[in-house]
Amino acid sequence: MRPALLNALFAPLTTLPGIGPRLAPLYQRLAGERVVDLLWHLPSGVVDRRFAPKVAEAPSGRVCTLTVRVDAHMPSASRNRPYRVRCSDETGFLHLVFFHGREDWLRRQLPEGEWRVVSGVVEHFNNEVQITHPDHVVPPPERDSIMVVEAVYPLTAGLTARMVAKTVRVALGHAPDLPEWQDPAWLERQGWPSWRQAIEAVHHPDDARAITEDTPARRRLAYDELLANQLALVMVRTHMRKLKGRPLAGDGRLRQAVLAALPFRLTGAQERSLAEIEADMAAPLRMLRLLQGDVGSGKTVVALLAALAAVETGAQAALMAPTEILARQHLATIEPLAAAAGVRVALLTGRDKGKAREALLAAVAAGEVDILIGTHSLFQEDVAFRDLALAVIDEQHRFGVHQRLDLASKGQAVDVLVMTATPIPRTLLLTAYGDMDASRLDEKPPGRQPVDTRALPLGRLEDVVAGVRRAIMGGARVYWVCPLVEDSETSDMAAAEERHRHLTDILGSRVGLVHGRMKSQAKDKVMAAFAAGEVDILVATTVIEVGVNVPEATIMVIEHAERFGLAQLHQLRGRVGRGTAASSCLLLYDAPLSETAKARLEIMRATEDGFRIAEEDLRLRGGGEILGTRQSGLPEFALADLGLHADLLAAARDDARLVLDRDPDLTGPRGQSLRVLLYLFDRDAAVRTLRSG
């Protein structure tokens, strides 16, 4: 149960005054659905209202707070002309300008003959000093209430800066004093405030530096979030370690048969990773290992050899992929090799229906299938194994932790191997996969060609099209990727459809199109035509980012490359250079480029090392954007920025381990406070892990 003292923070936003049915969806889009989400919605800038000159000294373009006497109202005769109010102090006149102003309301706010304090951006217009729509108008006794530094928040359409600031202030009023979960000596050494003081400080900045710099309050909150993350991961890992595994050590005969059938030797990295996996499987504890390898580094072969170690003991293995295309691709790689060893492999996808599906499930349950490859359909209740011993999960970030555990629960003490082609910087590895051991495939298999990468301005589009036409006439196959125009699938699709029309007009009918809105069968059909050489150019959105394998494709054109993250560009480039022919990647950009975009394209030209690219991505973009966290399932932090707070992450990891060594069930005084922290950052699953033992 969530501690009662957090109830006010986890109440729906609609419990705050002024947030009714009309505003609630806007606030939800901006920050989230709960009061606590508003606390995590940090200011992006400040307005300093402390500058209070005389009217004659008020500079144009600056926010000023002026004390003036209201001289006269000057209503407009025409609706198109503004309503003006003339004010003055001893040095000169100030005009307040209101468009569509209501006279009765303005006369109440600004009674003639009385003094008022007004604050807003000063403009000099036709030799007059004026403020259009002042932000504040108050009587002099209330002057101190506006002569402050105001936080400015990121907005969404339909909400004003003043509304959001006011609502955040109300939300802060709901923040309780929470028990201190930090170690007292560490807290004192860092010079950090309490949680309550820190959350107040970040929303009431003293000046612009408090927003842009890494202040003690901001570091305190970032550390809280990282500590909750690390504590949860260490608890899950400890829980997994407690669950009894079973030693799986086969006699090696099937692995030897497959190695003999391979047309190449394993790389040193493959041999090293395989040795680590086999050692884990032979141990009495459950394996939970991450295998990360760049596109084309040979993960599928390592997964097959690991599966065979299980099959040699008489057990079964399952390999789960996020899409049907990827599952079929694994099948195409694995089936001929498995056949050489006499191992039975089958594929289960959502497309399998009726009698054929029933027959396949019966064979799996009877142990007549050694390795089952599939999509999400492997989770379904009616899928039962005779003896599942190893679950391999490809592109882990497309699945949640609970799905990983669901598949593992389909057998006794199942070992889990997770694979990703997304190179993950070491810092992020800790935050996302801290519950796993990690192996790296950092060598390319022999025969892989380097990809010649060039950046060209979009103005040279017709030259690129002419070059592509020549390449096609020479037998080349080409990917042409269109950008995400915005967070909308429709505009994304429109860009791809428009480019498809354009290229078809110039190059004829052998141009295919795939995008995210197509049904998977239609998508598969186009991909298959491209793989078979019936289509020369495949125009696509980023649906081809993961798992399309056409060794004959040698050219990758990426339009508006400046809109893609580094990791995504790297994944896309990995679609070419898979065969023996020379390959090239053209990055088309829209000038002028920002400094970050320029650096990104430069790195792409300089290296093909996915791990180096991922580290650069983290450095350039910070943790929030890295790898497109929304797509990748890596944790999105509200308060911590991994580019900025990498030092705190290491400290949080050590702290979490120390705490759980001393107090594994979090029952001591600090342990109880840390439970509050876990709930505060939505890590309650870790607390449930504690309860379930």
Average pLDDT over residues 636-648: 81
Look at residue 299 and tell me whether its pLDDT is greater than 70.
yes
- Spatial distance between the Cα atoms of 373 and 316, rounded to a whole number of angstroms: 11
Determine contact, residues 464/588, Cβ cutoff 8 Å: yes
- Spatial distance between the Cα atoms of 483 and 13, rounded to a whole number of angstroms: 35
Which residues 6+ apart lie within 8 Å of 479 measured at CB? 537, 538, 540, 544, 553, 555, 556, 557, 572, 575, 576
Strand partners, 348: 374
Average pLDDT over residues 116-120: 95
Residue 441 pLDDT grade (very low, low, confident, very high; cuts 50, 70, 90): confident
Which residues 6+ apart lie within 8 Å of 64 measured at CB? 51, 52, 53, 58, 119, 120, 121, 122, 131
Rounded to 10 deg, the angle between the 669-680 and 216-242 helix axes is 100
User: What count of other Cβ atoms lies within 10 Å of the Cβ of residue 219?
Assistant: 20
400-409, 498-507, 627-636 — which is least confidently predicted? 627-636
- Spatial distance between the Cα atoms of 171 and 183, rounded to a whole number of angstroms: 27
Strands in 126-214 per DSSP E: 128-132, 136-138, 149-152
Count Cβ neighbours within 10 Å for each residue of 294-312 and write b for 16 or more, e otherwise: bbbbbbbbbbbbbbbbbbb
3 state DSSP class of 86 = strand
Average pLDDT over residues 212-231: 91
Write out the two tokens for 493: 């699709």
- Spatial distance between the Cα atoms of 64 and 53, rounded to a whole number of angstroms: 7
State whether the Cα torsion 491-493-496-502 is positive or negative: negative
User: Scanning the structure block, which residue is given the tokens 């006497």?
Assistant: 69
Tell me how long the chain is. 693
3 state DSSP class of 319 = strand
End-to-end CA distance of the chain: 16
CB burial of residue 406 (10 Å; 0-12, 13-18, 19+): middle
3 state DSSP class of 502 = helix
pLDDT in tens, 331-359: 988 999 999 999 999 999 888 888 989 99
Write out the two tokens for 413: 């003490």
- Spatial distance between the Cα atoms of 38 and 349, rounded to a whole number of angstroms: 42
3 state DSSP class of 41 = coil
- According to DSSP, the β-strands at 345-348 and 371-374 are parallel
Higher-scoring residue by pLDDT: 686, 367: 367
Residue 650 pLDDT grade (very low, low, confident, very high; cuts 50, 70, 90): confident
User: Scanning the structure block, which residue is given the tokens 């403009």?
Assistant: 123
- From 42, 61, 43, 41, select the one nearest 51 (Cα to Cα): 61
Look at residue 146 and tell me whether its pLDDT is greater than 90.
no
Q: Residue type at 408?
A: A
What count of Cα atoms within 13 Å lies in the side-chain half-sphere of residue 623?
Answer: 25
Which residues 6+ apart lie within 8 Å of 524 measured at CB? 324, 325, 328
Q: Residue type at 320?
A: M
Sheet containing 451-457: order of strands: 451-457, 583-589, 553-558, 477-481, 537-540, 511-514
Look at residue 325 and tell me whether its pLDDT is greater than 90.
no
Find which of 25-34, 76-85, 183-192 is predicted with most confidence, using mean pLDDT. 183-192
pLDDT in tens, 270-285: 999 999 999 999 998 8
Look at residue 677 and tell me whether its pLDDT is greater than 50.
yes
Distances from the Cα of 311 to the Cα of 47, 80, 335, 389, angstroms? 66, 81, 15, 8
Predicted local distance difference test score (pLDDT) of residue 543: 66
Q: Residue type at 130?
A: Q
User: Scanning the structure block, which residue is given the tokens 């996969």?
Assistant: 433
Q: Residue type at 638?
A: A
Distances from the Cα of 547 to the Cα of 302, 335, 356, 391, 537, angstroms? 16, 17, 26, 19, 18
Predicted local distance difference test score (pLDDT) of residue 622: 52
Predicted local distance difference test score (pLDDT) of residue 152: 87
Higher-scoring residue by pLDDT: 429, 364: 364
Look at residue 625 and tell me whether its pLDDT is greater than 70.
no
21-25, 406-410, 614-618, 650-654 — which is least confidently predicted? 406-410
Determine contact, residues 320/371, Cβ cutoff 8 Å: no
- Spatial distance between the Cα atoms of 475 and 468, rounded to a whole number of angstroms: 11
Predicted local distance difference test score (pLDDT) of residue 693: 38
Average pLDDT over residues 46-50: 89
User: What count of other Cβ atoms lies within 10 Å of the Cβ of residue 328?
Assistant: 18
Is there a cis peptide before residue 184, judged by omega within 30 degrees of 0? no
Predicted local distance difference test score (pLDDT) of residue 571: 81
pLDDT in tens, 153-173: 888 888 888 889 889 999 999
Higher-scoring residue by pLDDT: 521, 203: 203
Strand partners, 122: 131
Distances from the Cα of 468 to the Cα of 29, 555, 572, 637, 663, angstroms? 43, 8, 18, 42, 64
Determine contact, residues 153/44, Cβ cutoff 8 Å: yes
Domains and CATH numbers, the chain: 4-46+155-213 (no CATH), 50-147 (2.40.50.140), 253-441 (3.40.50.300), 451-607 (3.40.50.300)
CB burial of residue 539 (10 Å; 0-12, 13-18, 19+): buried
> Residue by residue, what is the 3-state secondary structure of 433-448?
HCCCEEEEECCCCCCC
- Spatial distance between the Cα atoms of 499 and 366, rounded to a whole number of angstroms: 51
Strand partners, 481: 540, 558
Q: Residue type at 276?
A: E
Strands in 90-165 per DSSP E: 92-98, 115-125, 128-132, 136-138, 149-152
Predicted local distance difference test score (pLDDT) of residue 402: 56
Mean pLDDT of the chain: 85
What is the per-residue DSSP string for 607-635? Answer: ---HHHHHHHHHHHH-TTTTT-HHHH-PP
Rounded to 10 deg, the angle between the 646-662 and 669-680 helix axes is 130
Look at residue 485 and tell me whether its pLDDT is greater than 70.
no
pLDDT in tens, 59-76: 999 999 999 999 999 998
User: What count of other Cβ atoms lies within 10 Å of the Cβ of residue 448?
Assistant: 18
Q: In the chain, what percentage of residues exceed pLDDT 90?
A: 46
- From 639, 658, 233, select the one nearest 433 (Cα to Cα): 233
Predicted local distance difference test score (pLDDT) of residue 626: 39
Is there a cis peptide before residue 592, judged by omega within 30 degrees of 0? yes
